[in-house]
Amino acid sequence: MTQQELNNDYYSTNDLSLATTLSLWCPIEDIDRSNPRKAFFIFRKTSELEKLIDQYFRNEIKISPQVYFNQLRVIKARLYANE
């Protein structure tokens, strides 16, 4: 994936909490592990994703703690699976 494609078609974040929340509604397209100290979660840009990001930062998303924690475990397993 080129940097231009990443900027235009994809959203990237290294915020684990945000990535966990977004992944409840939008699939993680890829995890960029090119930096050994920081992984970036890549999502396809959609209007739904942008709305979720705004809601996240405005603290408007309500999630069951169990659902959130289970999703966090899934993401961590995927993150560390190839190490």
The pLDDT tens digits for 29-73 are: 999 989 889 999 999 999 999 999 999 999 999 999 999 999 999
Domain spans, the chain? 3-80
6 compared with 5, residue with greater pLDDT: 6
pLDDT of residue 4: 47
> Which amino acid appears at position 55 of this protein?
Q
- Distance, in Å, from the CA atom of 54 to the CA atom of 70, rounded to the nearest integer, reads 23
pLDDT of residue 57: 96
Tokens representing 59? 């603290």
Q: Which residues contact 49 (CB under 8 A, 6 or more apart)?
A: 11, 22, 26, 43
pLDDT of residue 39: 93
Residue that the structure tokens 């290294």 belong to? 14
> Which amino acid appears at position 6 of this protein?
L
pLDDT tens per residue, range 14-24: 999 999 999 99
User: Does pLDDT of 82 surpass 70?
Assistant: no
